[in-house]
Each structure stands twice: as structure tokens, then as C-alpha cells.
Chains A and B, each alone.
Chain A
Amino acid sequence: MNDVSHSPWRPADGNRQADCTRAGLLMLQAADDELVQEQTAWLNEHLRSCAACDAQQARFRQIDQDLGAYGELLWQQNPPRPDERPRFLDRMATSKRRKRSVIPWIAAAAGALAASIMIGVCLNHTPSPARNRSLTARTPLPHVKQSQTLAASSDAVAVSVNHGGARAPHLRRCAASHAKPQPEDETFIRIPFTAPLAPYERIQVVRKNMAVAALIAAGFEVRVPDTGAIVTADVLIGQDGRAHAIRIISSSISNNHGGSLSQ
């Protein structure tokens, strides 16, 4: 075992301490050939007078040479690629181009996002004109008027409903299938004796022409001279496929004889 307690870098106490410390630093520099002539002479003189430092110097030299040889052999066995530098320059240039192209990409992405939001908003608020189509909505279902009379037209059919408890959607979004905006009170009327819709039930609204007789069969009380009259109505269909409510479209009454519908 070597004498580690005394070393040039951590010398024993005494007068030699400063000299041994200096000798330790000079040994490192000597290994790298960084000593000037005076320093070399001083180190040699110290090593002659200090056996511990001399022994340490010998061990240090041996190991240091081995480390260097080890590094050299690694290098010889695994020489670096000849194209390291051009490869690095290429990659650095690529990295620079990427950085420059980040801002345009961010702007493009933001523009695309804004455009898609605008398109979504327009699609939701500019419905197609009246035609037979079905719309679906997954919303908390809004309230239904429990008692209401809808004037189909000044001289035409009116539907009167008076039943309790049910909640039915007014579905303004679905009413978008109308060419003209609907009056606020033209809400859906729950079909009697049907189970109420669940709050978040998926629904469909289908516009179709219906015979007044069908309304009578559904439980509405209809007061019209001609039960064969045809009305256009939006039918709200629940997730179970059953009709839950209807909304008479005022402008589409084909009955000109006047009358009313009531439950």
C-alpha cells in the first residue's frame, strides 16, 4: 500500500508542506509539459530531497502513461468518421432552418385554427333552408311549455296543450331548419302519454307533413272542419326512436278552413 497520508497534494505538516504542495502542482504540469526550465529544476531538486514526493511522482508517471496509452488505443481501434465536421455543419444548418421555420408554422397553425372555429360557428348559425332533414343534438334539454296555444296562422290551425310535468326541448338550433326565424313561443309540444326525455338524451328532429288525423290519434284534441288536412311539423324523436314532441310549423298549414288543436 502506498503512503497516501503524505502526498504532494496533501502533504504532512512541517516545513516541507508548502514545497510539497507546490511540487504536486508542478507534477501535474510536468505531465503536460507545461513547466518552464526553472520550475523543472526546482521540482527535480525537491524530488531529490523528498522521498515521499519522489515515490509519488514515480507512481503518478506510471499511471498517467497507462491512461494515455489506453486513450490512444481506444482512438486507434475506433477512429472517428472522416466526415464528422461536414456532418456537423449540415446538422447545424438544418437546426438553424428549423428554428427559422417555427414562426411561420405557428402563424399558419393559428390561422387554420381560427378558420376552423369560424367555419364551425357559421355551420351552427346559418342553417340550410327548409327541407326535409334531420338534425341531431346532444344537449341538456331545455324546458317545454306545459300549456300553450300555438297560432298556426291567423285563420288556421291552433294546437292547445295542457299537461303537466314534462320537459321538452325548444331546440332553437334545431329550429334552424326553418327558412324564417320562429317566434319565441313556437316550442315543441309534448305528445301525451310519452315518457319524458332524459336530461342529456340524444334527440333527432325530423320535419314531415302530418295528417291532422294523426295528431288526433296521438292524443291531441283537434278542432278543424277537415280532419284530412295536412300540417307540416317538426317531430322530436328520442334516443329510443319514439316521437316525444311536435312543433307545428305555422307557415305550412294546408288547412284554410280555420280551427284549433288541443290536448
Chain B
Amino acid sequence: MAVDDQRPISPAPRRDEVDRGVPSTSQLEQEVVGFFDELRGPLYRYFLCTGLSRDDASECVQETFLRLYRHLQRRGDHSNLRGWIFQVARNLIRDEYKSARRRRTETLDSSIERLSACPDPEGSPEDQMLRRERLHRLRSSIEKLTPQQRNCVLLRVAGLRYREIAEMLGIGISSVGELMQRAIARLNEDLYE
């Protein structure tokens, strides 16, 4: 991911912090920024494909990594931080949908509506229409999956590798394979039969 801001993150660690072996603020920030650079794209896509608007998705990405920063400041659990990040993201989505502040009336399907408005440079108008139609059906089929299957599929839509999906969900890659197989069987049934 492109680094668009090269300014220093924080001053050097204090001497006493180094002596005590405590991760300095600078190290902490470096770690968080590392996660931010690596995962903000997939996370942003994940928020988008759950139906959040661009601004809300962007805000949720920021909030997720700020929570990560606070979590690490409190010396929270370091095991499987990717999974932790994904859990926070899911909580944020849930809160976002529960929140009375949610102003939009957008449904999950409206992300597809937005896609429909997007000009597709490739293919004839007929191809574009067929493609949009297929994505419509894909979106509605994803909604019918079980939560675990849906999580796998949406994380894949977000651009994560299957190995990363397994890590984020805290399950083995073979379990991801099983979930995907069931999800694909169902999607295949809805989309192509």
C-alpha cells in the first residue's frame, strides 16, 4: 500500500522505557501504523461490502485502528491481532447499524445500486448489464449465507487471502475451505442454476 505521509510518527523512546523493556510509544505507534498500512484497504472494502457508505467506511477504518492503538497502549492481548481487528470491525458494523445516528436509509443491496451507476469501461452495454445483474444476485445470495460463511465470503471480497481469512477468523484453513465450499455451493445454486 502506498505510503502517502512520511513524517516521523513519534519522538525516540524514553531511556527508562528502554531500560524496563517496555514497548515505547514510538514502537507502539510503528506497530499500529504497520497494521494500518497493511489492513486498511481490506478493512475498507469489508466495510463497504457490508453496505456502509464511503464516509462511514472510512470512519470505521479510523476507529478500528484507534481502538487497536488504545488496546496496545493498555498492553492488551497480542495474540492474533488481525483477528482482534476483524472482531472490532464486526462490532463497529453492528454498532453502526444499531446507532440512531445512522442517517442513511441505505440497505445492503444499495452498494450494488451504486455499482450499477459506475461506468464499466470494459465490455459492451449488454455485457455490463449482465455483469451488474450477476452482481445483484451475488449480493443477495451472500445475504442468505450463514454468518460464518458470509464472513468468509466478505473477507474474500475484501481482498484477503484464504490463509489470512483463517487467521482473522481464528480457525484453520481447512475450516475456511469447508465454509467456502458450502458457501460456493449455495452461491453457485443461486447464480448459475
B14 at the interface (CB under 8 A from A): no
**What residues of B have a CB within 8 angstroms of the CB of A76 in the complex?**
118
Cβ–Cβ contact A86 & B5, under 8 A:
yes
Determine which residue in A25, A56, A89 has the highest number of CB atoms from chain B within 10 A of its CB, and name it. Answer: A89
B32 at the interface (CB under 8 A from A): yes
Main secondary structure of the interface of B (DSSP, over half): helix
Q: Count how many chain B residues have C-beta atoms less than 8 Å from C-beta atoms of the other chain.
A: 62
Cβ–Cβ contact B163 & A99, under 8 A:
no
Sort chain A's interface into a size bin.
35 or more
Main secondary structure of the interface of A (DSSP, over half): helix
B77 at the interface (CB under 8 A from A): no
A104 at the interface (CB under 8 A from B): no
Determine which residue in B117, B158, B188 has the highest number of CB atoms from chain A within 10 A of its CB, and name it. Answer: B188
Give Cα A7 to B45, complex, Å: 30
Q: Interface readout for A1-20 with B: 1 if CB under 8 Å, 0 if not?
A: 11010011110000000000
A37 at the interface (CB under 8 A from B): no
Give Cα A229 to B193, complex, Å: 115
User: Given A1-B193, A10-B181, is A95 in contact with B115 using a C-beta cutoff of 8 Å?
Assistant: no
Question: What is the distance, in angstroms, from A77's C-beta to the closest C-beta of chain B?
Answer: 4
**What residues of A have a CB within 8 angstroms of the CB of B83 in the complex?**
none
**What residues of B have a CB within 8 angstroms of the CB of A1 in the complex?**
189, 193
Cβ–Cβ contact A8 & B181, under 8 A:
yes
B95 at the interface (CB under 8 A from A): no
Cβ–Cβ contact B40 & A2, under 8 A:
no
User: Given A63-B188, A74-B111, A88-B36, is A80 in contact with B163 using a C-beta cutoff of 8 Å?
Assistant: no
**What residues of B have a CB within 8 angstroms of the CB of A56 in the complex?**
181
A67 at the interface (CB under 8 A from B): yes
User: Given A2-B188, A92-B66, is A80 in contact with B4 using a C-beta cutoff of 8 Å?
Assistant: no
